[in-house]
């Protein structure tokens, strides 16, 4: 019973992060990461700033702070932060990627090309070739730009931006047939994107207003057995609407199609957890934590799962880590204290 209550508390804690201030670098970093996950970049930037005020030599916080600044359009500030990270840690593919993108935004195309091209063999993000292609085209090198956009289209074949840029490049080169093909792909994926937005809206509304069986029909209009992102979204919407059992199938399919999808693993683990199927929740959550070790929501859920499974030895270090990421989580703190006490008695 206690475990059940504790699990519920952990679940709540995992879903909504308390905002009580706690001053430790790890705490601010954890909160900032969570806020970034929720796309609350301004608040996230504040957390990273707090972390840096406590420890200016903390490169992870500075890096994430810089990423927030780019998202907020504060490009000059972001550049300065990335440069500091580089000074602290030496060259990093991730820093070079963002500096390249900043050069692109500043219309310094030669510098953008130099930086992004240096990442070509081992790109830190799948959209690196896209930005390199855009940089080449902006610099007037249509041929090189086209080559990199073609590579981007292979890496991210469902990204309509890539197909639009590629179509424009082919148009400029007078390759009308290739352009028409890319325009068609652009149109297809952009329509899919819009349709997905519409379908998601309809699904959420149906889950709110209709019985689950009827809502399932509405929601399954967005079911695409070959698209892991859509499957993940479907699972998330069903889960958010309380249809946990229904959410399992699309999420299982999603992790099968894209084993590196953090969102799919996290949501699958969360759904099993919500269904109190803790044994099933463990592996997906371990995978999610491996993919995003600093994401408090996954860490606390994994700790809670292990705890519910009775594997207290495994649960304790995970919950301690969750607590470091979010020291204001009183429920987790209570469980940790209890586990420590039990451990001490052994």
Q: Judged by CB under 8 A, how many residues of this single chain contact another protein?
A: 45
| Least separation in angstroms between CB 70 and another protein | 6
- Residue 163 binds another protein (CB under 8 A): yes
167 lies in the site for another protein, by CB under 8 A: yes
Candidate ranges 70-78, 146-154, 277-285, 305-313; the one touching another protein (CB under 8 A)? 70-78
Query: What span, in angstroms and rounded, lies between the C-alpha atoms of 29 and 50?
Result: 9
HSE value, Cβ hemisphere, 13 Å, CA-based, for 67: 20
Q: Is the distance from CB of 180 to CB of 210 less than 8 angstroms? A: no
Contacts 24+ apart (CB under 8 A), 342-346: 342/312, 343/312, 343/313, 343/316
Phi, psi torsion values for 294, nearest 5 degrees: -95, 10
| Residues comprising the chain, all counted | 346
Interaction residues for another protein, span 220-279 (CB under 8 A): 229-230, 232-233, 236-237, 240, 263
Q: Which parts of 38-57 interact with another protein (CB under 8 A)?
A: 38-39
Residue 156 gets which letter from DSSP?
Answer: S
Out of 22, 46, 71, 328, point to the residue binding another protein (CB under 8 A).
Answer: 71
Distance CA 102, CA 209 (A): 45
212 binds another protein (CB under 8 A): no
Query: d(Cα 282, Cα 279) in Å, to the nearest integer?
Result: 6
CB of 107 to another protein, least distance (A): 4
Q: Would you state the structure tokens that stand for residue 166, as one six-digit string?
A: 């590629």
Select the span of 142-150, 191-199, 243-251, 297-305 touching another protein (CB under 8 A).
191-199
Q: Which of 29/160 has CB closer to another protein?
A: 160
Interaction mask 307-346, another protein, x per CB under 8 A: ----------------------------------------
- CB nearer to another protein: pick between 12 and 334: 12
Q: What is the 3-state secondary structure (H, E, C) of 169-228?
A: HHHHCCCHHHHHHHHHHHHHHHHHHHHHHHHHHHHHHHHHHCCHHHHHHHHHHHCCCCCH
Q: Select the span of 57-65, 157-165, 268-276, 324-332 touching another protein (CB under 8 A).
A: 157-165
Six-digit token string for 2: 């206690």
- Tell me how far, at minimum, the Cβ of 60 lies from another protein, in Å: 20
In angstroms, what is the minimal distance from the CB of 156 to another protein?
8
243 vs 319, which CB is nearer to another protein?
A: 243
Which residues, 74 to 103, sit near another protein by CB under 8 A?
74-77
Contact 319, 346 (CB under 8 A): no
Would you put residue 211 in left (φ > 0), alpha (ψ -120 to 50) or beta?
beta
What is the binding site for another protein (CB under 8 A)? Answer: 38-39, 70-77, 105, 107, 127, 138, 158-161, 163-165, 167-168, 171-172, 179, 183, 186, 190, 193, 196-197, 200-201, 204-205, 208, 229-230, 232-233, 236-237, 240, 263
């Amino acid at each position: 019973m206690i475990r059940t209550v504790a699990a519920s508390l952990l679940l709540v804690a995992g879903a909504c992060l308390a905002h009580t201030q706690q001053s430790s670098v790890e705490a601010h970093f954890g909160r900032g990461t969570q806020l970034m996950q929720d796309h609350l970049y301004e608040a996230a930037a504040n957390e990273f700033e707090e972390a840096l005020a406590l420890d200016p030599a903390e490169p992870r916080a500075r890096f994430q702070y810089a990423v927030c600044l780019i998202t907020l359009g504060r490009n000059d500030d972001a550049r300065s932060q990335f440069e500091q990270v580089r000074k602290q840690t030496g060259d990093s593919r991730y820093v070079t990627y963002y500096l390249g993108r900043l050069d692109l935004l500043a219309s310094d195309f030669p510098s953008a090309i130099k930086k992004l091209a240096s990442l070509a063999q081992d790109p830190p993000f799948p959209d690196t070739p896209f930005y390199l292609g855009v940089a080449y085209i902006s610099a007037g090198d249509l041929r090189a730009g086209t080559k990199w956009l073609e590579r981007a289209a292979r890496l991210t074949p469902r990204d309509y931006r890539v197909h639009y840029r590629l179509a424009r490049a082919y148009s400029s080169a007078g390759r009308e047939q290739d352009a028409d093909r890319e325009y068609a792909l652009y149109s297809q994926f952009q329509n899919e994107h819009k349709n997905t937005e519409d379908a998601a809206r309809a699904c959420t509304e149906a889950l709110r207003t209709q019985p689950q069986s009827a809502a399932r029909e509405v929601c399954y209009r967005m079911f695409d057995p070959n698209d892991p992102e859509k499957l993940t979204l479907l699972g998330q919407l069903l889960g958010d609407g309380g249809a946990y059992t229904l959410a399992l199938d699309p999420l299982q399919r999603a992790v099968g199609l894209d084993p590196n999808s953090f969102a799919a693993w996290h949501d699958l683990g969360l759904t099993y957890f919500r269904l109190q199927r803790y044994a099933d929740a463990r592996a997906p959550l371990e995978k999610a934590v491996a993919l995003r070790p600093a994401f408090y929501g996954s860490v606390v859920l994994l700790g809670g799962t292990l705890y519910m499974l009775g594997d207290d030895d495994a649960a304790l270090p995970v919950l301690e880590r969750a607590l470091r990421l979010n020291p204001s989580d009183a429920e987790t703190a209570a469980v940790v204290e209890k586990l420590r006490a039990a451990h001490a008695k052994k």
